[in-house]
Amino acid sequence: MSNRRSFLRGASILMGHAAFGQVMTAFAAAPRKATFFTDTEMQTLRALVDVILPATDSPAASAADTHYFIDLAIPACASVAAQKTFREGLKTLGKKRFAILAPPEQVVQLKARAAVDMEPPYDQSFFKILKDYTLTGYFLSEVGATQALAYERVPGGFQGDLPLKANQKAWAI
Amino acid sequence: MATNNQFDAIVVGSGMSGGWAAKELTEKGLKTLVLERGRDIRHVTDYTTALKDPWQLPHNNRPTNADRAAQPIQSTLYLYDQSTKQHFVNDLRHPYAQEQPFNWYRGYHVGGRSLMWARHVFRYSDLDFTANQREGVGIDWPIRYADIAPWYEHIERFIGASGENSGLPQLPEQVLQPPFEMNALEKHIRSHMAEKFGGERKLICSATAVLSREHNGRGPCQGRNQCARGCPFSAYFSSNGVTLPAAAATGNLTLQPDAVVHSLIYDEGKNRVTGVRVVDANTRKTTEYFAKVVFLCASALNSTALLLNTRSARFPNGLGNDSDELGHNLMDHHNGGGATASYSGLSDRYYRGRRATSMYIPRFRNVGKREDKFMRGYGYEVYTSRGSWTRGIGSADFGADFKNEITRPGEWNLYMEGYGETLPYHDNRMWLSPDKVDSWDMPIIQLSMTYRDNERAMAQQMMDDAVEMMQAAKLENVSGFNNPVTPGSVIHEMGTARMGRDPKTSVLNAYNQVHSVPNVFVTDGSCMVSSPTQNPSLTYMALTARAANHAVELLKRGEL
C-alpha cells in the first residue's frame, strides 16, 4: 500500500509542476514548419526516414514527425561539419529526385549511398548521421517508444529473469 | 534562531559528507549552519525532469552544441543529458586550471554530488587500512577497521542499502536489504565463475544505496534507473532526500544556499577558527558567520582550497599546513581496463524494469599472495543487457525487415570495467593560482595529477583478467580494452588533506581534526590516506558521523 501511496505522491507533485504543463502545451501546439532545412530538403528527408523505418505493425517514421525532429536536432546538436555533410547528402539525393522515386528505386539509391558511407570513417558520413538521427527521433518519440517498442515510465521495480514472450517488443530505454 | 550570525557549528557543503555532519550535529542538539555555495534543490519538488519521457525532453534527451559550450567538461560525463544537465556546474563560471589533464565533475547545489552519484557503497577492510604501512607507501592510516566498523553500520542502517554480501574478508559484511535480481546472463556468468574460480572470484550484486524494500517511508526503487534526475520515490540515498530532512526535523538546522565560503576566520591568540567568511553567490556581498566548531565537507578539492586560502602569520601556507602536505597526495581511481562480450544463447530470457545498479566482482589481486607486477588491486563493475534499437545505427541495413529486427531484443551484451586503487604520490597535487581568481574572489584551483607505473601495470592485468573471466564464462566476442584514463574521471578525487598520527606528515588526526587547530574538522574525500579499490562515499559518511560525534563529546568536555 505504501508503495502505491508514495508513488502517487511523487507523481502528483511532479505532474503538478508548472513546467510539465507548459511542455505538453508546447508539444500540442508545435507548428509543423521546418526551421532549418528547405522545403525540398524536407521532402527528401521525409522520404528517407520512411525508407529507413517504413510502416509495419507500427507507424512509419514520418507519422511520428521524425523528419521534423531531425530539422530541429541537426542544427542544435550536430557539429558544424556534420551539418554540412548532412545537408550536402540531402542535396545530392534531392538532385536525383529521391522523394518521388518509386520505392524500389529509393532502396537502390540509399543502398548505394550506404555502401559508400560504410567505408571508414563511417562515423562522419551522411548515412551514419541519417541513421543516428532517424532512429533517435523515431524510437524516442511517443509513437516509436510505445508502439514500435515497449516503454514504461515507471516500471514499478525490477524483474531480472523473465521468459521472452512470442513477438515481445524490446524496451525503448 | 541564532543571533549575530553565531551558531554552535558550521558545516561547509551539503553533499554526501555535509548532510551527515548536519544530521549528527543537529541531532546532538547543536545549532548548526549548513553553507552551500549553490542554489537550493528541494527534494522531489525541484526534480523538474524526473518523470519526463524521452520525447518530452529537448531533442529526445540529446545534449546540444550550446550545452557542450557552457559545460565542456561536464558534458563529457556518461550521465550528462537533457534530463541531468541542470545538476552539473557551468564550467565557464567555475574555472580551474589543468596543469595536467583533469576532469573535475561537480554539482554546485544543495545535495552536491549525492544527487547524481553512482550509489555503490562498500566497506573498506583492514587489508586497505594497513596497506600503506605494510608496503611502505605514503603514511599509515591512523585508524583500523575496528574504529570505523560501528560507524559503517550506523550509516547503512539509516541510508538503506541493498545488495549481496560477498563473504570475502576483503569486502566486510554489511547491513543490506535483499539484492536486486540477476538477469539470465548474469546467473550464467556467476555459475561458470564459481566452477572455474571456486570462491576466489565471484559475481555478486553490488551493495548500492538503492532500496529494494521500503525503508523509513522511502522507496522501494521503481526500476526507472534515472536516479541522477532526482528520485520522486526517495529510493536512493541523497542528502536532499534523507540526511538534510532529518537534520531539519530537529529544529536545529539553518540551511543557507548561495553561500560561497571564501576562507576561515582564524584567531591566533586562541588558536581556534572562530567562523567563516561567506560571499553571496548572487550579490557578492560578504558576511561572516561564527561557531565553536567548523566542519569542512565541501568535497576534497574545495575543502583543501579553503584551508589553503586561509593564511596568517602562524599559517603562511594555509591553515593547518605545518606538514606542507596540504594539497598533495591527490588520488582518484582508474578504470581503463576491462572487456566487452556478447552471448547468443539465453535468447528466450528477458527482464522488466531498469535496474539502478551493476553487478560486481570483488577484488582478488594482492589479497592472499603478493603480485609481482603491482601493489593493491581492483574490483569490477559489470553491466549486461540485451541489444536495443541503438544497434541499428551502426548497420548498413534499413527497411521493414530491419525495423522488425531492431524492435526485438538483440543478443546479450556485456561491458565490464575494473576500478583500481591509485597510490598516493606526493607530487600529484592541487594548489591555488597565485594570480587568477573566480567571480567570488576565490583563487582558482590548479591541478596536476598523473597515473604511474603501478597503475599502468594494474590496468593491463585488469584487462587480462576481465578477458579470462568472460572466456571462462563461455561468452562470445570477448574483447579486452585498456584505455588511457584522464584523472578525475572516476569522480573519486581524494587525499589532499590526509589523516595521520604525526602532524609532521599529515594534516588531520584520527578524528579528522586539523592537528594544529582542533576545532576544524575535514571529513570529505580530502582526508583519505590511501584510495582502496572500493567506492569511497560510504567511508566519507562513516568518518563524518564518527568525527561529528567526537566533536560533540569534546564540546561537552569543554575541550574545543
Sequence ranges of the domains in chain B:
1-41+110-159+238-332+493-560
Contacts of B353 (CB under 8 A, 6+ apart): A152, A155, A156, A157, A158, A159, B222, B223, B224
Mean pLDDT to the nearest integer, B270-285: 98
Grid cell of B248 as nine digits: 531539519
Q: Do B217 and A10 touch (CB under 8 A)?
A: no
Reported residue count of chain A is 173
End-to-end CA separation in angstroms for chain A: 27
Tell me if residue B278 falls in helix, strand or coil: strand
Give the chain B residue whose CA is nearest to the CA of A79.
B65
Q: How confident is the model at residue A112 (pLDDT cuts 50, 70, 90)?
A: very high
Q: How confident is the model at residue A30 (pLDDT cuts 50, 70, 90)?
A: low
Q: Within B221-347, where are the H helices?
A: 244-249, 300-308
User: Are B430 and B459 spatial neighbours (Cβ–Cβ below 8 Å)?
Assistant: no
Query: Could you give the CA distance from residue A8 to residue B143 in angstroms, rounded to a whole number?
Result: 46
Query: Could you give the CA distance from residue A14 to residue B120 in angstroms, rounded to a whole number?
Result: 27
Instruction: Please tell me which of the candidates B54, B59, B410 has its beta carbon nearest to residue A76.
Output: B59
Residue B94: pLDDT over 80:
yes
Give the chain B residue whose CA is nearest to the CA of A104.
B399
Phi-psi bin for B318: left (phi > 0), alpha (psi -120 to 50), beta?
Answer: left
Query: Could you give the CA distance from residue B421 to residue B430 in angstroms, rounded to a whole number?
Result: 19
Query: Could you give the CA distance from residue B70 to residue B68 in angstroms, rounded to a whole number?
Result: 5
DSSP run (H or E) holding B405: helix B400-406
Q: Within B282-371, where are the H helices?
A: 300-308
Q: How confident is the model at residue B3 (pLDDT cuts 50, 70, 90)?
A: low
Instruction: Please tell me which of the candidates A11, A52, A140 has its beta carbon nearest to residue B55.
Output: A140
Query: Could you give the CA distance from residue B335 to residue B484 in angstroms, rounded to a whole number?
Result: 9
Query: Could you give the CA distance from residue B337 to residue B325 in angstroms, rounded to a whole number?
Result: 31
Tell me if residue B534 falls in helix, strand or coil: coil
Q: Residue A81: is it exposed, middle or buried by C-beta count within 10 angstroms (0-12/13-18/19+)?
A: exposed
Query: Could you give the CA distance from residue B39 to residue A128 in angstroms, rounded to a whole number?
Result: 40
Residue A12: pLDDT over 60:
no
Instruction: Please tell me which of the candidates B184, B393, B409 has its beta carbon nearest to residue A161.
Output: B184
Instruction: Please tell me which of the candidates B47, B355, B399 has its beta carbon nearest to residue A54.
Output: B399
Residue B148: predicted pLDDT: 98
Reported residue count of chain B is 560
Distance from CA of B42 to the nearest CA of A (A): 12
Contacts of B74 (CB under 8 A, 6+ apart): B80, B85, B88, B89, B91, B105, B106
Q: Residue B52: its chain A contacts at CB < 8 A?
A: 20, 23
* pLDDT single digits (tens) B469-489: 999 999 999 999 999 999 999
In this structure, which amino acid lies at residue B30? L
Residue B181: pLDDT over 60:
yes
Phi-psi bin for A149: left (phi > 0), alpha (psi -120 to 50), beta?
Answer: beta
Count Cα atoms within 13 angstroms, Cβ side, for B240. 31
For the CA atoms of chain A, what is the radius of gyration?
19
Grid cell of B57 as nine digits: 525532453
Q: What is the dihedral of CA B201, B206, B212, B217, to 10 degrees?
A: 140
Residue A31: predicted pLDDT: 56
Q: Residue B348: its chain A contacts at CB < 8 A?
A: 163-164
Instruction: Please tell me which of the candidates A54, A141, A158 has its beta carbon nearest to residue B181.
Output: A158
Query: Could you give the CA distance from residue A36 to residue B367 in angstroms, rounded to a whole number?
Result: 60
**Nearest to residue B548, comparing CAs of B154, B8, B29, B25?**
B25
Q: What is the dihedral of CA A20, A22, A25, A30, to 10 degrees?
A: -110
Query: Could you give the CA distance from residue B59 to residue B82 in angstroms, rounded to a whole number?
Result: 8
Q: Is the peptide bond before B169 cis (omega within 30 degrees of 0)?
A: no
| CATH 3.50.50.60 applies to domain B1-41+110-159+238-332+493-560 | yes
Mean pLDDT of chain B: 98
CA A89-A93-A95 angle, 5° bins: 120
Mean pLDDT to the nearest integer, B209-226: 98
Q: Do B398 and A2 touch (CB under 8 A)?
A: no
Residue whose C-alpha cell is 540509399:
A110
**Nearest to residue A98, comparing CAs of A108, A84, A87, A86?**
A108
Mean pLDDT to the nearest integer, B542-556: 98
* pLDDT single digits (tens) B227-274: 999 999 999 999 999 999 999 999 999 999 999 999 999 999 999 999
Helical axes A66-77 vs A126-139, angle rounded to 10°: 120
Instruction: Please tell me which of the candidates A77, A110, A151 has its beta carbon nearest to residue B63.
Output: A77
End-to-end CA separation in angstroms for chain B: 22
Mutate to test the interface with B, among A98, A161, A167 (most CBs of B within 10 A): A161
Query: Could you give the CA distance from residue B484 to residue B498 in angstroms, rounded to a whole number?
Result: 27
Q: How confident is the model at residue A103 (pLDDT cuts 50, 70, 90)?
A: very high
Mutate to test the interface with A, among B81, B352, B358, B402 (most CBs of A within 10 A): B352
Q: Do A52 and B399 touch (CB under 8 A)?
A: yes
Query: Could you give the CA distance from residue B179 to residue B182 in angstroms, rounded to a whole number?
Result: 9
Query: Could you give the CA distance from residue A64 to residue A27 in angstroms, rounded to a whole number?
Result: 13
Q: Residue A148: its chain B contacts at CB < 8 A?
A: 403, 407
Give the chain A residue whose CA is nearest to the CA of B231.
A10
Residue B327: predicted pLDDT: 98
Give the chain A residue whose CA is nearest to the CA of B216.
A2
Grid cell of B450 as nine digits: 598523473
Q: Residue B162: its chain A contacts at CB < 8 A?
A: none
Q: State the pairing for strand pair B97-98/B443-448.
A: parallel
Mean pLDDT to the nearest integer, B86-103: 98
Mutate to test the interface with B, among A3, A151, A152, A158 (most CBs of B within 10 A): A158
Grid cell of B369 as nine digits: 599472495
Q: Residue A58: its chain B contacts at CB < 8 A?
A: 403, 407
Phi-psi bin for B236: left (phi > 0), alpha (psi -120 to 50), beta?
Answer: beta
Q: How confident is the model at residue A22 (pLDDT cuts 50, 70, 90)?
A: very low
Query: Could you give the CA distance from residue A146 to residue A160 in angstroms, rounded to a whole number?
Result: 21
* pLDDT single digits (tens) B385-400: 999 999 999 999 999 9
- Identify which has the larger pLDDT, B560 or B45: B45
Residue B368: predicted pLDDT: 87
**Which 8-state DSSP code applies to residue A141?**
S
Instruction: Please tell me which of the candidates B182, B233, B234 has its beta carbon nearest to residue A160.
Output: B182
Residue whose C-alpha cell is 526535523:
B249
**Nearest to residue B422, comparing CAs of B330, B491, B311?**
B330
Residue B543: pLDDT over 80:
yes
* pLDDT single digits (tens) B424-475: 999 999 999 999 999 999 999 999 999 999 999 999 999 999 999 999 999 9
Q: pTM for the complete prediction?
A: 0.94
Grid cell of B224 as nine digits: 526507472
